[in-house]
């Protein structure tokens, strides 16, 4: 068998196994065997670039090459559905359809309404050629590269009988399991949590790095087909054909002939949806006949042949048993309610954040209270109310926020005007120390591979590290003798620690974990002051003079460098060779041609990438801003500039500068 024949064979096998695993839920081989086949295909494709195929299974692993999204006009507008919230409104819809169709009999197709991101997929000759988000309904973002990483979306169709060209629409979702995993990771890094799987899926789909998209394991259900030569005259029947071609279609679809059957379907799934692996928020009811759909038509905004019934937010009543407190990396203390386990949205829930002291006080909680826990539109569990009718004189004491750190005993502090209460002992409070080390080694900071939260905890517990500077004293024998660690792992960790000495200064500054100094602020400070020494000696007035540095951030920086132990830590990092100043590339000519100008970039460019244009703007003294305002100097506009930005720029009289005009401007 030639290499070319083996590539074709592997592609066919992997497409089939993907469908068996992700759509049919009937895996035929182990994950290991699948990975071995995928690895073999990747190696063969690397050896034979002439065999490139945009629908190869290897496209699902994603790429770390950044890409910009282009706007695509929908062939058929993507309209939203009218919402109903009661059986009476569903009955009104049924009556309107019946009246409009006169004596014609009709069927209704009931489907689960998945709570994700709407997507339009276009197939030509049985291959996925384009994936576009809903956008404003008229046009959306081309996210084909990211969608190819979703295993339940076929790149090449199975079977036969599919139209030469057609469009199929559906919902891209983040399963509960993946949503919980990602939020745990974000919580460990003290990053803002995703409010619900829909927001998580939407944010993921718009990432510029498709390899990250692949790692988040999105899913998809398809629910509507459009085209000139569809396989059937019925909506339900078309989707049954789609399932045979490899699309993941909800097995819960049902055709109903009476209003009572529709109500029965709604009642069943209002309960059973709690056991589904993905988020749902209602039921969609459609007239099944495509001819009758066309006859019923559309209003200005919604189809007359379909409607969405929305479920009420899911909540449960349970007993509050205790309040525990978590200390984060920056010392913020978060109260957590612990209660009798209840099932919500397919998972057992026994804890919910109470956010802060004010939120807790407003609920007027007492130990033993019966409380309502909700996991509806905002999917992070939360206590919404207390059942006061069940409170008795036997009730436990009123819940009051603690006054000392639960980890180190230090009296807690609260900055005036802030909701958060925090432990100021950032030097010897264990969760803060370990949290700062985890932040320091993270990908966006020092990017030290091989060290995770468990390894940091192990190294800290055995006394090998007490702060981030101790990482640079680690040697292979120190690590290799620890439990679950070997020579190879230790070697990789030490090599990665050594490589981190080359990390640029702005990331070193971010890695220190100074309260309120995130990635963007660290870059601003690095560019404004140029070195750690100048930041360390900066005055309050000098700090607030920097763009986007307000009083709160300035005070936090001053407080950090006023601490002798923090200054000692920075000096130790300087001694081990970390970058402590901005390295200026002397080969780049810097000018003030754009000094004082704020520039917004929009569209797709021919001569340079967006990132290259951003660098040029900064090189010539300008500032990149993300949104248009009256203070914007001009918009650097490429092809397919966003219509909303164009309209706002015209309304405010902000100049639109083309690619050629901009390059002439800085020559």
Catalytically active residues, by annotation: 113
Q: Tell me how far apart the alpha carbons of residues 306 and 322 are, in angstroms, rounded to a whole number.
A: 47
Alpha helices in 154-287 (DSSP H): 176-188, 197-205, 210-215, 235-245, 259-272
Q: Answer yes or no: are the C-beta atoms of 315 and 375 closer than 8 Å.
A: yes
∠ CA 508-511-512, nearest 5°, is 95
Under DSSP, the state recorded for 196 is: S
Altogether, the residues listed in the chain come to a count of 667
Residue 423: count of CB within 10 angstroms of its CB: 25
Count of beta carbons in the 10 Å neighbourhood of residue 349: 16
CB within 8 Å of 454: residues ≥ 6 apart: none
- The Cβ-side half-sphere exposure at 288, using a 13 Å CA radius, reads 21
Distance (Å, whole) CA 279 – CA 272: 12
CB 234 within 8 A of CB 261: no
Give me the phi and psi of 619, to 5 degrees please. -60, -35
CA atoms within 13 A on the CB side of 294: 6
Contact 236, 109 (CB under 8 A): yes
In sequence order, what DSSP letters do the residues of 193-225 get, joined into one string? PPSSHHHHHHHHHT-S-HHHHHHT--EEEEEEE
The Cα–Cα gap between 520 and 528 comes to: 12
Query: Parallel, antiparallel, or unpaired: how do β-strands 634-637 and 656-658 relate?
Result: parallel
Pairing of strands 315-327, 370-374: antiparallel
Instruction: Enumerate the β-bridge partners of residue 166.
Output: 123
């Amino acid at each position: 068998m030639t290499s070319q024949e083996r590539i074709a064979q592997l592609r066919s096998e992997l497409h089939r196994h993907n469908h068996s695993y992700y759509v049919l839920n009937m895996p035929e081989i182990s994950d290991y065997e699948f990975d071995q086949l995928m690895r073999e295909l990747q190696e063969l494709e690397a050896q034979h670039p002439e065999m490139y195929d945009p629908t190869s299974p290897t496209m699902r692993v994603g790429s770390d090459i950044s890409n910009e999204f282009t706007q695509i006009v929908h062939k058929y507008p993507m309209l939203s559905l009218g919402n109903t919230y009661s059986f009476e409104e569903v009955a009104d819809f049924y009556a309107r359809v019946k009246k409009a169709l006169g004596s014609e009999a009709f069927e209704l197709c009931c489907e689960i309404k998945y709570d994700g991101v709407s997507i339009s997929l276009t197939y030509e000759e049985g291959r996925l050629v384009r994936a576009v988000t809903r956008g404003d309904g008229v046009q959306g973002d081309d996210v084909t590269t990211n969608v190819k990483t979703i295993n339940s979306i076929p790149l090449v169709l199975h079977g036969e009988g599919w139209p030469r060209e057609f469009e199929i629409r559906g919902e891209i979702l983040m399963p509960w399991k993946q949503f919980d995993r990602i939020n745990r990771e974000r919580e460990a890094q003290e990053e803002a949590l995703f409010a619900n799987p829909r927001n998580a899926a939407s944010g993921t789909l718009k990432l510029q790095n498709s390899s990250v998209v692949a790692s988040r394991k999105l899913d998809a259900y398809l629910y509507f087909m459009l085209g000139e030569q569809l396989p059937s005259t019925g909506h339900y029947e078309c989707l049954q054909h789609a399932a045979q071609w490899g699309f993941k279609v909800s097995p819960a679809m049902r055709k109903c002939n009476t209003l009572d059957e529709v109500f029965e379907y709604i009642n069943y799934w209002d309960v059973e949806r709690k056991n589904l692996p993905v988020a749902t928020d209602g039921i969609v009811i459609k007239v099944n006949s495509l001819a009758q759909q066309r006859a019923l038509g559309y209003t200005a905004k919604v189809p007359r042949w379909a409607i969405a019934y929305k479920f009420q937010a899911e909540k449960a009543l349970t007993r509050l048993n205790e309040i525990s407190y978590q200390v984060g990396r920056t010392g913020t203390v978060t109260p957590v309610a612990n209660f009798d386990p209840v099932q919500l949205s397919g998972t057992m829930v026994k804890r919910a954040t109470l956010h802060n002291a004010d939120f807790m006080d407003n609920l007027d909680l007492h130990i033993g209270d019966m409380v309502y826990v909700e996991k509806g539109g905002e999917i992070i569990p939360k206590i919404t109310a207390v059942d006061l009718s069940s409170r008795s004189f036997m009730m436990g004491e009123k819940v009051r926020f603690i006054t000392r750190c639960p980890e180190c005993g230090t009296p807690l502090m609260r900055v005036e005007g802030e909701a958060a209460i925090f432990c100021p002992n950032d030097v010897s409070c264990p969760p803060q120390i370990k949290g700062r080390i985890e932040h320091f080694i993270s990908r966006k900071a020092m990017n030290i591979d091989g060290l995770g939260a468990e390894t940091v905890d192990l190294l800290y517990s055995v006394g090998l590290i007490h702060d981030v500077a101790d990482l640079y004293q680690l040697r292979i024998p120190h690590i290799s003798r620890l439990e679950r660690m070997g020579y190879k792992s230790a070697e990789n960790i030490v090599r990665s620690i050594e490589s981190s000495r080359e990390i640029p200064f702005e990331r070193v500054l971010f890695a220190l974990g100074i309260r309120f100094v995130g990635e963007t602020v660290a870059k601003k400070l690095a560019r404004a002051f140029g070195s750690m020494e100048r930041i360390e000696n900066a005055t309050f007035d000098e700090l607030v003079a920097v763009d986007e540095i307000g009083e709160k951030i300035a005070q936090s920086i001053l407080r950090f460098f006023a601490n002798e132990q923090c200054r000692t830590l920075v000096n130790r990092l300087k001694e081990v060779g970390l970058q402590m100043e901005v390295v200026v590339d002397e080969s780049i000519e810097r000018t003030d041609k754009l000094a004082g100008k704020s520039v917004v970039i929009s569209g797709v460019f021919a001569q340079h990438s967006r990132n290259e244009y951003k660098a040029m703007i900064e090189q010539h003294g300008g500032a990149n801003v993300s949104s248009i305002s009256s203070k914007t100097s001009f918009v650097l506009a490429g092809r397919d500039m966003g219509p909303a930005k164009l309209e706002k720029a015209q309304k405010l009289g902000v100049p639109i500068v083309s690619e050629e005009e901009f390059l002439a401007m800085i020559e």
